[in-house]
Amino acid sequence: MVSLGVVAERVLEEGIVNQMRELLLKQIEVVKSTVTERQDSWQSILYMDELADRLGSKLMVRVTFISPQGKVVGDSHVETADLARLETHARRPEVKEALQKGTGWDIRYSNTVGVDLFYLASLCGAREGSQLVIRLAVPAGGIFQAKARLKAQMGGIFLLGLAVLFLAGRSLGKKLSEWRNEVSRDNLEALWGELLSGEESPVEPGVHNIKVKLRESISTLREAKDRLEAVLHGMVEGVMLLDPKGRIQIVNSALGALLEARVDPVGRSPAEAYRLPGLQEAVEECIGDRRARLLEIKSKGATGKVLEVQVSPTPQGGAVALFRDVTEKKRLEEMRKNLIANVSHELRTPLTAIRGAVEGLMDELPEGLQQTQRFANMIHRQVLRLEKMVKDLLDLSKLEAEGRLSESKIVEAREIAREAMESVKEMAEAKGLELQSSFTSAQAHVRGNPRELEQALVNLLTNAIQFTERGRVVLRVEAVGNEVHFSVEDTGVGIPEEHLPRIFERFYRVDRDRSREKGGSGLGLSIVKHIVQNHGGRVEVQSTPGQGSIFRVILPRSGGEEDSKL
């Protein structure tokens, strides 16, 4: 309202001033025409003052004639005799402006007349030396009166507005304080009880609406909570929910049965509540990088359980950990591994004895007993096959048991490839196959056990030769970014697509009879997979039946010093 008042005052003032100026400009034209006629008398103060008096009383304004030097030569409101005593008017704003621009105006208090005056001055005569400034003045009281009236009215409206605001505010405040009293601390408990029990007590309509809404929200929340609890406590897996700071918020009953907590876990970190090495770090890392992780933890304490724990980030910035008891599964797995290892180990000795005996028998057999010789050869072949199978099983057991590298050093990839090629050279020649190698010129190093890596390549090359009747087998070694790729390519029978996902399983063979006939154990690719996994790598296979296969072993490249130079 204040700024509105200021703007209104400006607009009003400008309107009145413009109107006054227009009026005075018209009157000054009349004066000008009279004065111009008597240009010869401009120097005569007697004449000019008398002319000013006359025009002033006719037009009902104050008329002043001023020489360009500022000397007053006539004024309708000053006696002729007093004119000489008037100070120079050259510095009056309106006169200065008129001398510069032709016309000028100003509003100010006049000492001569004793009121506020509106002055308008205009320059008369074109030539310098014969010029005269005509100035008209009228009381400016109208403007100030109008402004004062406007201010008074605006003030009134302002006060009225304040009063309305005050009354409205007071009534709203009263209403709010009534509501507040209704829901004050004292009876909040009662209201809460009422809301939960569904009872009704007479209240303000506004409060009633709030109560209805609250009751709806409470029942929705309660349902959601019940559902969540039913799911949580019905789960076989242990569940632990953690907030973004890594503090435990919820644990379900299954977790309680799985793990013994040292203290009440809620509100504490996993490390404070449970004796589970590695869990705290996994939770912190998961909250930090928002990525899920799977870990196996052996719990400390009497039970010594083995737990599989999946830690995943939650949308709220915390984490949720799922615990599965895999103690029994691990125990059985261990038993199976031990059984295989033990049986294979036990079989080795009798097999070696049988082979020795058969080989001795074959040497001793007299000529001519063809049938017996045939049987002896058959026994020999099968014993060799059995021996290979037992050896493969033992190798596999060892690789599984280690789960990581037993021996590790930095080796040059091409070196391993060359050794493997050497081992299968004769076999390829015997089948009339072309055995080729293709190595990239740069050296590439891998970290690992050279014996095992060579075995993996020999297994792949043996398969390639066995399952190829015509054409060639190629071993490629390439450095690709941070990896080293060993590819074994053949032009053999290939593998139908549906078998590809399973060929790395133990004893899996695409064509059983054919494999058996070739003396395969079905363990070769399992061994390859285990070796490569223990080296932190992976195996890939591509194959087209009738055209051939490509098996690719991909290992992380180890930055040997020579590598960085090349």
Q: Using the rule CB under 6 A, is 299 a contact of ligand ADP?
A: no
The residue (of 258 and 473) whose beta carbon lies closer to ligand ADP is 473
| Residues with Cβ within 8 Å of residue 41, at least 6 apart in sequence | 47, 48, 51
Q: Sign of the C-alpha dihedral, residues 508, 512, 515, 521?
A: positive
Q: Could you give the count of Cα atoms lying within 13 Å of 19 in the half-sphere of its Cβ?
A: 9
The residue (of 55 and 493) whose beta carbon lies closer to ligand ADP is 493
Parallel, antiparallel or unpaired: strands 238-242 and 103-109: unpaired
Using CB atoms within 10 A of its CB, is residue 58 exposed (0-12), middle (13-18) or buried (19+)? middle
Q: Mask 38-77, x = binds ligand ADP (CB under 6 A)?
A: ----------------------------------------
Q: Using the rule CB under 6 A, is 467 a contact of ligand ADP?
A: yes
The residue (of 433 and 495) whose beta carbon lies closer to ligand ADP is 495
Containing 175, the helix (H) or strand (E) segment is: helix 141-182
Q: Using the rule CB under 6 A, is 252 a contact of ligand ADP?
A: no
Q: How many residues bind ligand ADP (CB under 6 A)?
A: 22
Q: Using the rule CB under 6 A, is 313 a contact of ligand ADP?
A: no
Interhelix angle 2-37/141-182, rounded to 10 degrees, is: 170
- Selected binder of ligand ADP within 241, 255, 424, 495 (CB under 6 A): 495
Interatomic CA distance for residues 63 and 121, integer angstroms: 10
3-state DSSP percent of the chain in helix, strand and coil, to 5: 55, 20, 25
**Closest distance of CB 476 from ligand ADP, Å:** 15
Q: Using the rule CB under 6 A, is 484 a contact of ligand ADP?
A: no
| CA distance readout (Å), 238 to 49, 216, 224, 242, 401 | 115, 32, 20, 13, 29
**Closest distance of CB 334 from ligand ADP, Å:** 24
The residue (of 276 and 473) whose beta carbon lies closer to ligand ADP is 473
Q: Using the rule CB under 6 A, is 549 a contact of ligand ADP?
A: yes
**Closest distance of CB 396 from ligand ADP, Å:** 10
**Closest distance of CB 292 from ligand ADP, Å:** 32
Parallel, antiparallel or unpaired: strands 409-412 and 62-66: unpaired
Neighbours of 120 (CB within 10 A): 24
- The interface region with ligand ADP, picked from 60-68, 76-84, 191-199, 492-500 by CB under 6 A, is 492-500
Hey, what are 552's tokens? 């690719």
Hey, what are 22's tokens? 């227009």
**Closest distance of CB 489 from ligand ADP, Å:** 9
**In the window 497-536, what residues touch ligand ADP (CB under 6 A)?**
503, 508-511, 515, 520-526
Q: Using the rule CB under 6 A, is 463 a contact of ligand ADP?
A: yes
User: Which stretches of the chain bind ligand ADP, using CB under 6 A?
Assistant: 463-464, 467, 490, 492-495, 503, 508-511, 515, 520-526, 549
